[in-house]
Amino acid sequence: MTVILGEGDYRYAMQRGWGRLPDGWSLNEVGGVGVDSSDRVYVFNRGEHPMVVFDRDGNFLTSWGEGLFKRPHAVHMGPDDSIFCTDDGDHTVRKCTLDGKVLITIGTPNQPSPYMSGQPFCRCTHTACAPNGDIYVSDGYGNARVHKYTPDGRYLKSWGSPGTGPGQFSLPHNITCDADGWVYVADRELHRIQVFDGEGRYETQWNNLHRASALYMPAGSCPLCYVGEGGPTMSVIRKVPNLGGRISILDNKGNSLAQLGAPHTGNGPGEFMSPHGIAVDSQGSIYVGEVARTAWGHINPGIPVPDPIHVLNKLTRVP
């Protein structure tokens, strides 16, 4: 059965469990997804093969990163078709070629900064590039900061502190830049996206989101913003409808254009658990990676994880 999500100009057919793996392989959980200029799809996952590459039709192409990454968390495609791999278990960001050669390592492997010290990195979460090549890293699980680097990985500055005010963070979980150099930070546990200029000056924030976890903005002026929203984990709201577990499509002012998903989180047709990575190909199809196994235990405590549980889905745009 084909499930259609969205309405109007934003209608998508959902392909559950997209991507054909070699026999015996598993993605386990998907931290990040990226798409290169040839529409090859890079799936940064927590299985035995950290980076699995598919073509647009879901055919397996190759894998790499075995023995290199500790806990894959996010990927970002650089403007030169490099790929930035953020590893929160290893406290590093690695800029790699598309076949896995490491070009730059930012951070010291297995040497985190002290918790909430403000110094890079303590369980960094995501990476983004500005149009001029500057690199921004959200440092979210053990810090409440954004760090800025030159294109060759030299440290420039940081901003942010723990708190709920403008320019403060609870958990900066994802980051992206637009063509004008604005920096967008998913402040997950405060249910908002904060917007900064390239020097870290606070501009505004977008609300009306639930646990904003994943961000994706395509290249070009006035881009859309695709937001993955996690489902509710607190016991008193787990069964409340319309709280996350969806993909929201916003305009570049933060206004909602579409919401893709079901009223409740889940593993069934048209449902999401915890969208954690998003990418969009040249045809407008959306690839969604989920940390569904972890989310299932928080949202459905005491209930066995279903088999299969879907951690990678494709949403194909339809007329």
CATH number of the CATH domain containing 170: 2.120.10.30
pLDDT in tens, 49-88: 999 999 999 999 999 999 999 999 999 999 888 999 999 9
> Does residue 18 belong to any structural domain of this protein?
no
CA angle at residue 29 from 186 to 151, to 5 degrees?
A: 50
> Does residue 253 belong to any structural domain of this protein?
yes
Q: Closest Cα partner for 65 from 39, 38, 99, 34?
A: 99
> Does residue 22 belong to any structural domain of this protein?
no
Residue percentage of the chain with pLDDT more than 90 = 96
Quick one: average pLDDT of 123-150? 97
Q: How far is the CA of 6 from the CAs of 37, 100, 206, 225, 260, in angstroms? A: 26, 36, 21, 15, 5
* Band (220; pLDDT cuts 50, 70, 90): confident
Give pTM, 2 decimals.
0.97
> Does residue 138 belong to any structural domain of this protein?
yes
Encoded tokens for 181: 């150099």
Residue type, 296: W
Quick one: average pLDDT of 37-53? 98
> Does residue 30 belong to any structural domain of this protein?
no
User: Are the C-beta atoms of residues 34 and 42 closer than 8 Å to each other?
Assistant: yes
What's the confidence (pLDDT) of residue 263? 95
What's the confidence (pLDDT) of residue 81? 87
Q: Closest Cα partner for 74 from 219, 275, 306?
A: 275
Q: Closest Cα partner for 132 from 194, 85, 78?
A: 78
Residue percentage of the chain with pLDDT more than 70 = 100
Q: How many domains does the chain have?
A: 1
Chain-centroid distance of CA 105 in Å reads: 20
Domain residue limits at 158: 3-8+36-317
> Does residue 88 belong to any structural domain of this protein?
yes
Q: Would you call 299 helix, strand, or coil by DSSP?
A: helix
What's the confidence (pLDDT) of residue 25? 97
> Does residue 16 belong to any structural domain of this protein?
no
> Does residue 176 belong to any structural domain of this protein?
yes
